[in-house]
């Protein structure tokens, strides 16, 4: 299939069009799906973040409320602080919430007098921040490592150091005097567990993770990120979802919420929930793959269809082109029939067939006309050649005598002189003039004179060789050019001619004579005319010296 063929073009255009439409459609769907999915994933992330933040807020408020209620309880306001009842109350409260690590009561001077599991009892906590703050009001302390408790509870859990959040509140006696400070330490694990429960198993499998950012801009959770994961410069606004470039980690769909617990003091925590964009948009990749496969097969099918369609259209054209080529190569009986149900092709085939028939008729007519013309040309050419030959003949013949005329004699002389110049043998020129011809005319009439001229011409013509030339040079003057003839021989021939004329009896006239001048060509002669001039001079000398004689040109006549 040629690249410029109808088939290739149609397949190319059709395939290209389908490819273009597929690409545009795929890009459009990709964009639409990405947007829709980004929004959906963003909403899901926001939902997770929102519920996790709410749980954190409620838990913080709950713990603070519990500590506050405990500080205001009748028991702590009135009972002995180191009594069993107080001890039991603390244990009961601790048992209600598994993340309580420690609940204790310290006197205003900082001595722990009651505590769950009797931990830290007798120790002085007056330097602890929770104690100092708890002396004056409700206190909520940010996450920290507990120095004393850590020693009692063990250093680490699951590779992480023990971290706590502190709640404290003052206990006032009935007379409103400060009686003690009650405090609880909540294990940081509760944050981890809340976040774990907020993130569903499905979300976790899609790499959704929640992070807690502290007020000072450092990660509080997960522990592995503390001091290791850089906080991106462009986190989304609070409550917004955005695609964020995380340093060294790539692009994440990210949302951020503030944890507003409405507690006595705000911790300033922010909850960040993120998901790698590749996971968030994974369904788009799947969709793209399916679209690609769909496009590929659509393209393949389209190309096959286009090829079949093009074949259907191009086949009749190719047949017609083949037929036309056969005509170009000289074929005569070419068939233009095409097997097509399409009206246009049937019409074209019919028209071409009719055109061929007409062309064949025209061609035959043309060939006949041509043959006739060629015959006419042959006939005309032959006529022309004959006419030319006759004309040539006439132009070199003397009308009266039928022998050569002066022009023919001059041409022969020229040729002979050129041959002499090229080294051929010398030639001789003889000028012959009938003596007293005027008297012939006068005495016997002009017609008789003509007959004498004709007779002399015949006599001369019959007396010389075929290679020589006899011509009528003027009225009653003749010239004879003798090829390759020496002076002696020329004189001899001239004498023979003179004698023959003198011996012949002319019709109605009787005897006549002629004078002959002979000249031999010389290599020094510039042209034949010089030789003729010498012959003429010799002829006149013959006339002067008595007529009916031959005079060979001597040097005096040169």
Ligand X SMILES: Nc1nc2c(ncn2[C@@H]2O[C@H](COP(=O)(O)OP(=O)(O)OP(=O)(O)O)[C@@H](O)[C@H]2O)c(=O)[nH]1
Separate counts of helices (H) and strands (E) for the chain:
15, 19
Residue 104's nearest CA partner among 59, 58, 152 is 152
438 in contact with ligand X (CB under 6 A)? yes
517 in contact with ligand X (CB under 6 A)? no
The correct pick among 153, 313, 436, 509 for binding ligand X (CB under 6 A) is 436
Pick between residue 189 and residue 433 the one whose CB is nearest to ligand X.
Answer: 433
458 in contact with ligand X (CB under 6 A)? no
Burial of residue 324, with CB atoms counted within 10 A of its CB: 0-12 exposed, 13-18 middle, 19 or more buried:
middle
Pick between residue 117 and residue 450 the one whose CB is nearest to ligand X.
Answer: 450
Task: State both tokens at 537.
Answer: 């001079």
Alpha helices, DSSP H only, in 475-554?
A: 487-503, 528-544
161 in contact with ligand X (CB under 6 A)? no
The correct pick among 167, 190, 437, 473 for binding ligand X (CB under 6 A) is 437
Pick between residue 167 and residue 437 the one whose CB is nearest to ligand X.
Answer: 437
Which of these segments, 112-120, 306-314, 447-455, 459-467, binds ligand X (CB under 6 A)? Answer: 447-455
Residue 271's nearest CA partner among 493, 46, 440, 514 is 46
450 in contact with ligand X (CB under 6 A)? yes
Pick between residue 407 and residue 465 the one whose CB is nearest to ligand X.
Answer: 407
Q: At what angle do helices 6-71 and 189-198 cross, to 10 degrees?
A: 140
Residue linked to tokens 């009594």 = 83
The correct pick among 42, 170, 276, 449 for binding ligand X (CB under 6 A) is 449
The least distance separating ligand X from the CB of residue 413, rounded to whole angstroms, comes to 22
Task: State both tokens at 548.
Answer: 């009916």
Residue 498's nearest CA partner among 465, 438, 543, 544 is 543
Distance (Å, whole) CA 63 – CA 46:
25
Residues pairing with 516 in the sheet: 432, 550
Which of these segments, 125-133, 208-216, 448-456, 504-512, binds ligand X (CB under 6 A)? Answer: 448-456
544 in contact with ligand X (CB under 6 A)? no
The least distance separating ligand X from the CB of residue 447, rounded to whole angstroms, comes to 7
Residues pairing with 481 in the sheet: 429, 469
- Let me know: does 463 contact 504? Beta carbons within 8 Å: no
Distance (Å, whole) CA 70 – CA 76:
7
453 in contact with ligand X (CB under 6 A)? yes
473 in contact with ligand X (CB under 6 A)? no
536 in contact with ligand X (CB under 6 A)? no
The correct pick among 358, 386, 446, 505 for binding ligand X (CB under 6 A) is 446
Pick between residue 210 and residue 453 the one whose CB is nearest to ligand X.
Answer: 453
Contacts (CB under 6 A) with ligand X, residues 313-332: none
Alpha helices, DSSP H only, in 397-468?
A: 406-421, 437-444, 446-463
Distance (Å, whole) CA 78 – CA 450:
193
Which of these segments, 7-15, 44-52, 294-302, 438-446, binds ligand X (CB under 6 A)? Answer: 438-446
Binding mask of the shown chain, residues 394 to 433, with x at each position contacting ligand X by CB under 6 A: ---------------------------------------x
Distance (Å, whole) CA 412 – CA 443:
36
The least distance separating ligand X from the CB of residue 485, rounded to whole angstroms, comes to 25
The correct pick among 5, 282, 441, 463 for binding ligand X (CB under 6 A) is 441
Binding mask of the shown chain, residues 165 to 184, with x at each position contacting ligand X by CB under 6 A: --------------------
Distance of CA 490 to CAs 114, 428, 487, 546, Å?
A: 182, 6, 5, 20
Residues in the chain: 558
Which of these segments, 13-21, 261-269, 418-426, 439-447, binds ligand X (CB under 6 A)? Answer: 439-447
The correct pick among 476, 483, 517, 550 for binding ligand X (CB under 6 A) is 476
543 in contact with ligand X (CB under 6 A)? yes
Task: State both tokens at 16.
Answer: 């290209």
Q: What does the radius of gyration of the chain's CA atoms come to, in whole angstroms?
A: 72
| Interface residue list for ligand X (CB under 6 A) | 433-439, 441, 446, 449-450, 453, 475-476, 543, 547
């Amino acid at each position: 299939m040629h690249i410029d063929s109808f088939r290739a073009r149609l397949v190319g255009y059709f395939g290209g069009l389908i490819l273009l439409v597929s690409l545009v459609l795929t890009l459009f769907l990709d964009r639409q799906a990405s947007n829709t999915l980004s929004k959906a994933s963003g909403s899901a992330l926001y939902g997770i973040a929102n519920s996790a933040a709410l749980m954190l807020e409620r838990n913080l408020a709950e713990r603070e409320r519990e500590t506050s209620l405990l500080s205001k309880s009748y028991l702590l306001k009135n009972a002995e602080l180191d009594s069993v009842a107080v001890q039991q109350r603390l244990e009961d409260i601790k048992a209600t919430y598994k993340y309580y690590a420690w609940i204790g009561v310290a006197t205003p001077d900082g001595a722990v007098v009651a505590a769950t599991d009797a931990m830290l009892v007798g120790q002085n906590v007056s330097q602890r921040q929770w104690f100092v703050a708890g002396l004056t009001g409700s206190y909520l302390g940010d996450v920290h490592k507990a120095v004393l408790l850590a020693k009692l509870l063990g250093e680490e859990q699951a590779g992480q150091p023990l971290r706590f959040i502190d709640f404290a509140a003052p206990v006032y006696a009935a007379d409103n005097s400060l009686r003690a400070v009650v405090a609880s330490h909540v294990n940081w694990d509760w944050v981890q567990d809340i976040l774990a429960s907020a993130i569903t198993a499905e979300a976790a499998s899609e790499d959704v993770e929640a992070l807690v950012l502290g007020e000072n801009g450092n990660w509080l959770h997960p522990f592995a990120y503390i001091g290791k994961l850089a906080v991106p410069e462009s986190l989304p606004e609070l409550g917004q979802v955005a695609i964020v470039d995380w340093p060294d980690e790539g692009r994440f769909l990210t949302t951020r919420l503030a944890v507003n617990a409405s507690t006595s003091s705000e911790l300033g925590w922010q909850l960040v929930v993120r998901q790698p964009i590749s996971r968030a948009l994974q369904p788009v990749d799947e969709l793209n793959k399916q679209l690609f496969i769909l496009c590929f097969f659509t393209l393949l099918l389209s190309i096959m269809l286009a090829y079949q369609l093009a074949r259907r259209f191009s086949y009749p054209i190719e047949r017609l082109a083949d037929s036309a080529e056969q005509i170009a190569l000289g074929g005569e009986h070419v068939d233009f029939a095409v097997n097509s149900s399409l009206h246009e092709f049937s019409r074209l085939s019919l028209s071409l067939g009719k055109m061929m028939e007409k062309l064949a008729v025209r061609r035959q007519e043309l060939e006949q006309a041509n043959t006739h013309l060629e015959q006419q040309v042959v006939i005309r050419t032959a006529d022309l050649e004959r006419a030319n030959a006759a004309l040539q003949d006439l132009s070199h013949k003397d009308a009266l005598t039928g022998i050569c005329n002066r022009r023919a004699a001059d041409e022969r002389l020229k040729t002979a002189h050129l041959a002499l110049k090229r080294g051929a043998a010398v030639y001789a020129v003889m000028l012959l003039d009938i003596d007293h011809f005027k008297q012939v005319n006068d005495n016997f009439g002009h017609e008789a004179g003509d007959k004498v001229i004709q007779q002399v011409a015949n006599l001369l013509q019959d007396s010389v060789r075929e290679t020589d030339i006899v011509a009528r040079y003027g009225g009653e003057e003749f010239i004879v050019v003798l090829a390759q003839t020496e002076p002696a021989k020329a004189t001899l021939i001239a004498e023979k001619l003179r004698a023959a004329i003198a011996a012949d009896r002319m019709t109605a006239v009787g005897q006549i004579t002629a004078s002959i001048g002979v000249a031999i060509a010389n290599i020094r002669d510039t042209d034949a005319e010089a030789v003729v001039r010498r012959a003429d001079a010799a002829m006149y000398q013959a006339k002067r010296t008595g007529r009916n004689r031959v005079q060979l040109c001597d040097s005096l006549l040169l």
